[in-house]
């Protein structure tokens, strides 16, 4: 079965702290895709990153970085020097090849960054 | 690029009426559009997948006669909630992806439906 687990329901940090959001996935497929989306209070899901299963390179984009490790089936997301504007719910998601692009979402992690 | 719009952003209606929600991909052609429902403090629940020019595929437990989906063009899909009842009140979100099934989904801003 395919599954995405975000064990952290809520995280609260103080501005400028680094924070890591965990994502563990389950799949027996060899080809799959992993995503992170941000949902601010306005409600719109914002695409952050996509990773293919055959590309384990970590990625950095400004204050955001992602650590993809197939050995532990994890795709963790780190925000460096967090800011109040980072406050949102973050979703990790998995899609399988040949499944029409359906996304399997994790439960989401609500990040609160306090000034 | 990859902008998806939804209209209306919120709607309040009386029980028994029907409500139509539009989802448009503004700067790309969307072969596939998805409709989700989200309850407060919960994850997104996929309701159905629609491909341009064909019937939508509904997830188990979703009433296709209640939630009518039409994907008439490569840039527009509509969700009609028929004979809405208070339990249909929710946040409805659409997403669109390109011509390949492996394309990234881009999401609309959502529509908050309140049924009185």
Quote the tokens at residue A61: 């984009």
Give the nearest chain B residue to A88 (CA atoms). B41
User: Least CB-CB distance to A101: which of B91, B105, B108?
Assistant: B105
Whole-number Cα distances in Å, A26 to A50, A89, B70: 17, 21, 33
Q: Which residues of chain B have pLDDT under 50?
A: none
Per-residue pLDDT at B101: 64
Contacting residues of A for B101, CB less than 8 Å apart: 97-101
Task: Dump pLDDT digits (tens) for A12-47.
Answer: 999 999 999 999 999 999 999 999 999 999 999 999
Contacting residues of B for A23, CB less than 8 Å apart: none
Question: Which of B105, B109, B113 to mutate to test binding with chain A, by most A CBs within 10 Å of its CB?
Answer: B105
To the nearest whole number, what is the mean pLDDT of chain A? 94
Per-residue pLDDT at B27: 87
Using a CB–CB cut-off of 8 Å, the residues of B that contact A are: 2, 32, 34, 42-44, 46, 49, 51, 57, 91, 93, 95, 97, 101-110, 112
């Amino acid at each position: 079965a395919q599954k995405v687990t975000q064990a952290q329901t809520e995280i609260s940090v103080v501005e400028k702290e680094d924070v890591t959001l965990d994502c563990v996935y389950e799949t027996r497929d060899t080809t799959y895709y992993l995503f992170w989306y941000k949902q601010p209070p306005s409600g719109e899901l914002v695409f952050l990153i996509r990773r293919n299963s055959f590309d384990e390179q970590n990625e950095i984009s400004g204050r955001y970085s992602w650590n993809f490790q197939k050995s532990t089936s994890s795709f963790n997301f780190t925000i460096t020097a967090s800011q109040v504007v980072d406050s949102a719910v973050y979703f990790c998601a998995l899609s399988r090849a040949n499944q029409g692009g359906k996304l399997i979402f994790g439960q989401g992690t609500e990040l609160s960054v306090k000034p | 690029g990859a902008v998806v719009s939804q209209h209306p952003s919120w709607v309040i209606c009386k029980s028994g009426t029907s409500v139509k929600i539009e989802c448009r991909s503004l700067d790309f052609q969307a072969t596939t559009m998805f409709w989700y429902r989200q309850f407060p403090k919960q994850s997104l629940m996929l309701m159905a997948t629609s491909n341009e020019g064909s019937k939508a595929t509904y997830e188990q437990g979703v009433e296709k006669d209640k939630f009518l989906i039409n994907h008439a063009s490569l840039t527009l899909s509509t969700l009609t909630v028929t004979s809405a009842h208070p339990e249909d009140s929710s946040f409805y979100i659409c997403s669109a992806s390109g011509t390949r099934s492996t394309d990234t989904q881009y999401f609309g801003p959502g529509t908050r439906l309140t049924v009185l």
